[in-house]
């Protein structure tokens, strides 16, 4: 879930802001702080971008993971439907791994009766690929994953 190019461009506004603050003090300090702040901002954006991965026995979204044995139906949502899933239709108990710069989402049902989370809502630029990967992973090892 890497940030989109416009996020990188908007975070570049830290450069003129830091120059405005530090140039009156020292020109070298201004340029060094501008570069350091922008590189730091990029590092934070890139290192905190969650990864969505389907393995043969788990779904991993960011730091969270769930066994495929507890994964139910997955649905992909785009455009207005995705907005509704992130807003009006959102269950407060859902596990969210969403990013504002990625519109499509995948809604993944949780079938574990002891888990109060009804579903996961995960941002994805390729929601159909996530749904397909989950479906294939669940059905390719039915005895291992379902009982």
- Residue 145 Cα distances to 18, 28, 52, 78, 138, angstroms: 53, 59, 19, 29, 7
What b-and-e string marks burial along 77-108, b requiring 16 or more CB atoms within 10 Å of the CB? beeeebeebbeeeeeeebbebbbeebbbbbbb
Tokens of 27: 């020109």
pLDDT for residue 142: 57
Whether residue 143 has pLDDT greater than 70: no
- Residue 17 Cα distances to 10, 14, 101, 116, 123, angstroms: 12, 5, 23, 45, 31
Mean pLDDT computed over 85-99: 93
Whether residue 146 has pLDDT greater than 50: no
Domain ranges of the chain: 5-47, 52-146
CATH topology of domain 52-146: PH-domain like (2.30.29)
DSSP-assigned letters across all residues of 46-97: HHT---EEE-SSEEEETTEEEEGGGEEEEEEE-HHHHHHHHTTT--TTSEEE
pLDDT for residue 112: 92
For the chain, the average pLDDT equals 90
Mean pLDDT computed over 131-147: 72
**In 3-state terms, what secondary structure has residue 11?**
helix
pTM above 0.85, yes or no: no
| Residue 147: band (very low, low, confident or very high) from pLDDT cuts 50, 70, 90 | very low
Mean pLDDT computed over 46-69: 89
């Amino acid at each position: 879930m890497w940030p989109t190019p416009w996020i990188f461009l908007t975070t570049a506004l830290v450069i003129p802001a830091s120059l405005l603050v530090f140039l009156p003090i020292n020109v070298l300090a201004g340029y060094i702080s501008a570069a350091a702040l922008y590189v730091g901002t990029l590092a934070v954006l890139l290192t905190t971008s969650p990864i969505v991965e389907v393995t043969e026995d788990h779904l991993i979204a960011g730091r969270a993971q769930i066994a495929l044995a507890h994964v139910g139906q997955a649905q992909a949502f785009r455009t207005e439907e995705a907005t509704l899933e992130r807003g009006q239709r959102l269950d407060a108990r859902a596990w969210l791994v969403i990013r504002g710069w990625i519109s499509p989402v995948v809604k993944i049902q949780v079938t574990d009766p002891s888990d109060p989370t009804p579903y996961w809502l995960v941002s994805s630029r390729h929601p159909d690929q996530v749904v397909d990967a989950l479906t294939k992973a669940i059905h390719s090892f039915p005895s291992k994953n379902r009982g």
